[in-house]
Amino acid sequence: MPATSPTPLLAALALTLAIVALAGFVDALSFLQFKGLFVSFMSGNTTSLGVAAAKADGAKLHQLLLVISLFVGGVVLGTLLHNRAGERWSTSLILSMVSMLLALAHAYPLLAIEGLTLAMGILNASVHEVGGAKVSLTFVTGTLVKFGTGLANLLSGRHESWDWLWQLTLWLGFLSGALAGAAALLRLPQAALLLAAGLSLALALLAGLVRRGLR
């Protein structure tokens, strides 16, 4: 990682982990509420798409194609917003939009899948790199591969840096968010989405302060 003042960098790392946890939180809600449907983990949905095609399950095919398309659309929209707003404000604006979509999904349950998927696509544009370390909010498999590769390099004497430990931290962040999301839905089913919306809004407020510190 490049030389950056420790306090702002730690704040940026903490913010990133919180955003990753938010993605895990919402994905767990979706998985439980919509019978195995993911809104941020498109690898799982792609596998389900293949299974639905093999079974000629038209309803499931339509649902999965819609979710994957909305997720990609959200990534496009979030990236355009990121490029337009600039580094200083983009994360705050994206997280505010995510908060609004999560609140709308709570208010209009019939559009919950669409709102959650679009929100998670947009969320993926909120952060790409922290302190020189690449961040993938929902590509959990790739995160574990990078961690495993780094561990293998350490065991084989090819160790060059400890950046691969960051990948394990990201995985733990996503896992923690998923655990919290599942617990929230099981214990507070009527308020779980509002909790996610509130967390996203709180992170939006913090993001501006973190970005200013990094500058």
User: Can you give the CATH number for the domain in which 83 is found?
Assistant: 1.20.1250
Residue 133 above 90 pLDDT? no
Question: What is the count of structural domains for the chain?
Answer: 1
Q: Please report whether residue 175 resides in a domain.
A: yes
Q: Please report whether residue 184 resides in a domain.
A: yes
* Amino acid at residue number 180: A
Q: Please report whether residue 26 resides in a domain.
A: yes
Q: What is the pLDDT, as a whole number, of residue 146? A: 84
Q: What is the pLDDT, as a whole number, of residue 107? A: 95
Question: How many angstroms separate the CA atoms of 140 and 138, rounded?
Answer: 5
Q: Please report whether residue 178 resides in a domain.
A: yes
Q: What is the pLDDT, as a whole number, of residue 178? A: 95
For residue 110, the enclosing domain spans: 6-214
Q: What is the pLDDT, as a whole number, of residue 55? A: 95
Q: What is the pLDDT, as a whole number, of residue 88? A: 72
Q: What is the pLDDT, as a whole number, of residue 2? A: 39
Sorting pLDDT into bands at 50, 70 and 90, what band is 35?
confident
Q: Please report whether residue 155 resides in a domain.
A: yes
Q: What is the pLDDT, as a whole number, of residue 182? A: 96
Using a CB cutoff of 8 Å and minimum separation of 24, what contacts does 81-90 make?
Answer: 81/122, 81/125, 82/125, 82/126, 87/211, 88/208, 88/211, 88/212, 88/215, 89/208, 89/211, 90/125, 90/126
Q: Please report whether residue 1 resides in a domain.
A: no
